[in-house]
Amino acid sequence: MNAVLKKLLVLFSRFCISIVFIHSSVYQMKHFTEVQQFMAGKGLIFTELLLALSILWLLLGGFSVFLGIKAKKGSILLMLFLIPATLIFHSPFAEQAFFSIQFFKNLAIFGALLQIYIYGSGPLSLKP
């Protein structure tokens, strides 16, 4: 594989990982009330504050990973987000197959973020 293609593929992989979080934050902004009610239905309190922090957290982590600006710290932010989000909203113990699929999807994303934390953002980063 040539060096230019390899660099582009690393950038594309960071995009694929980060777009999940960026898209989620945009969705949460567009559907703030519905998401807040969903969170309250799961027994969370201070949902307005938690949701606002979630949106900010996802945007910071997502753009950090994609752009390669302090990507290791961004990957930590996103991993720390995934743990409670997965356990609260996508429990592996839920009876519905959808929640089980979401759990394993989040586990795969966690693994990709862990790779970024260990090896860094790679080439075509604004700051390694």
Tokens, residue 113: 């973020």
Report pLDDT digits (tens) over 28-62. Answer: 999 999 999 999 999 999 999 999 999 999 999 99
pLDDT, averaged across the chain: 92
pLDDT of res. 98:
62
Domain assignment of residue 106, yes or no: yes
Tell me if 69 is assigned to some domain: yes
**Is residue 127 in a domain?**
no
Give the contacts of 10 (CB within 8 A, at least 6 positions apart): 121, 122, 123, 124
For 1-128, strand residue ranges (E) read: none
Q: Is residue 105 part of a domain?
A: yes
CB-CB neighbours of 62 under 10 Å: 26
Residue 40 lies in a domain: yes
Q: How far apart are CA 41 and CA 58, in angstroms?
A: 21
- Does residue 20 contact residue 109 with C-beta atoms inside 8 Å? yes
Q: Does residue 128 belong to any structural domain of this protein?
A: no
Instruction: Give the structural domain span for 41.
Output: 3-119
pLDDT tens-digit series, residues 64-110: 999 999 999 999 999 999 999 988 887 767 666 666 788 889 999 99
Q: Give me the count of residues in the chain.
A: 128
Lowest mean pLDDT: which of 8-17, 68-77, 92-101, 112-121?
92-101
If 0-12 CB within 10 Å is exposed, 13-18 middle and 19+ buried, where does residue 123 land? Answer: middle
Point out which residues pair with 69 in neighbouring strands. 127
Q: How many domains does the chain have?
A: 1
Is 124 within a domain? no
